[in-house]
Amino acid sequence: MTRCTRRRFTLAAAAALSACAAPGVLAQAYPAKPIRMIAPYPPGGGVDTVARMIGERLAARLGQPVTVENLPGAGATIGAAALAKSAADGYTLMMGSVVDYSIAPHVHKNLSFDMRRDFAPIVEVANGTVVLVVNADFPPKTVAELVALAKSKPGQFSFASSGIGGLQHLNAEMFKQMAGVDLVHVPYKGTAQFLPDLLSGRVPMSIDSLPAHLPHIRAGKLRVLAVASRARAPMLPEVPTMIEAGLAGYESATNYTLFAPAGTPREAIERVNRETNALLQAADVRERLQALGIVAAGSSVEAITAKAGAEMTKWAGVIRAANLKFD
């Protein structure tokens, strides 16, 4: 074999070897670098707490750091807009809420993103328990008694919320529609602001997330008539669901879902889904969430994608039926 022939053979063999090896060399397994997780609420709140808990454990399973970045403001829409503008490469995620982003288009004008168009839901992480809570001195002891009292005195009882267009407000609007009652909305800037009036009885009820109310429930100052989840809450096993109390189809929860930008490679989405579902089976994770009034979920990509669409339809219907207008 001549030198020239040997050289051609060597180059051809090298090219063939390179072609065989190229997919493994060029397409590094995900993840190959650190991951950023947006938390669209301030530090210290429920979303931030869940994001950091899940991020820490996800990092251990993925073998790459997961850094939580708080981008709060405008009803979680600032963080969501940042996600929508991020590279769809699997290295930017967000711990958000399918409920928040189902309501947002009706409350915030000229949004730069749309959940259906711009987000790829990865996995439903957990759901926070929502309760129908009343002042301890308020006469009704059950949902049926509350409905009967409200029907006998239309427009004479009020409910507190953390603001017009928020989940608490829409929870009560949905309750009014399903129960056929007339209640007066008293909006506040947040749960912390209306708690004193709820505890004093100036406003008798709210349909709100459990954590802020739990100490007062345990102290006997507030009473829970029902939980809004499909199944009874593990931290309040004696309390019936709204469905059990007679409101068929009534379901609401604060939601924690991992999103990526639309167009993120399926490989990355499936890997994060798989690892998150696995870590949610750990007893310590489930117990820590439950202590916060949050129930671990887990889901397939297809299930949470379908839920996101269903939530958008559901809350649009509640808003339309209530004839709510937002400035």
Measured CA to CA, the distance from residue 76 to residue 130 in angstroms comes to 19
Which is higher by pLDDT, 299 or 192? Answer: 299
Q: Which residue has the higher pLDDT, 197 or 17?
A: 197
CB distance 254 to 95 below 8 Å:
no
Specify the higher pLDDT residue, 192 or 125: 125
What single letter denotes the amino acid at residue 255?
N
Grade residue 23 by pLDDT with cuts at 50, 70 and 90: very low
Rounded to an integer, the average pLDDT of 10-31 is 49
Indicate if the pLDDT at residue 312 is higher than 70: yes
CATH code 3.40.190.10 for 130-227: yes
Query: What is the structure's pLDDT at 28?
Result: 76
Q: Residue 216 has what pLDDT?
A: 96
Q: What is the mean pLDDT of residues 305-311?
A: 96
Q: Mean pLDDT in the chain?
A: 91
Residue-level pLDDT at 27: 54
Closest alpha carbon to 165 in 41, 246, 77, 259: 77
Domain map (residue ranges) of the chain = 35-126+254-322, 130-227
Residue 283 pLDDT more than 60?
yes
Residue 320 has pLDDT above 90, yes or no: yes
How is the beta sheet containing 119-128 ordered, strand by strand?
66-70, 35-39, 92-96, 254-261, 119-128, 294-296
Q: What is the pLDDT of residues 120-145, one digit of tens each?
A: 999 999 999 999 999 999 999 999 99
Hey, what CATH topology would domain 35-126+254-322 get? D-Maltodextrin-Binding Protein; domain 2 (3.40.190)
Phi, psi of 233 (to 5 degrees): -80, 135
pLDDT at 107 over 60: yes
Q: What percent of the chain has pLDDT over 70?
A: 91
Q: How far apart are alpha carbons 162 and 171 in whole angstroms?
A: 11
The answer on pLDDT for 26 being more than 80 is no
Residue 218, pLDDT score:
94
User: Mean per-residue pLDDT for 276-287?
Assistant: 97
Q: From residue 225, how far is each of 101, 114, 179, 237, 260 by CA, in Å?
A: 28, 36, 14, 12, 37
Same fold, 35-126+254-322 and 130-227: yes
Residues in the chain: 327
| Coil vs helix vs strand at 161 | strand
Per-residue pLDDT at 151 exceeds 80: yes
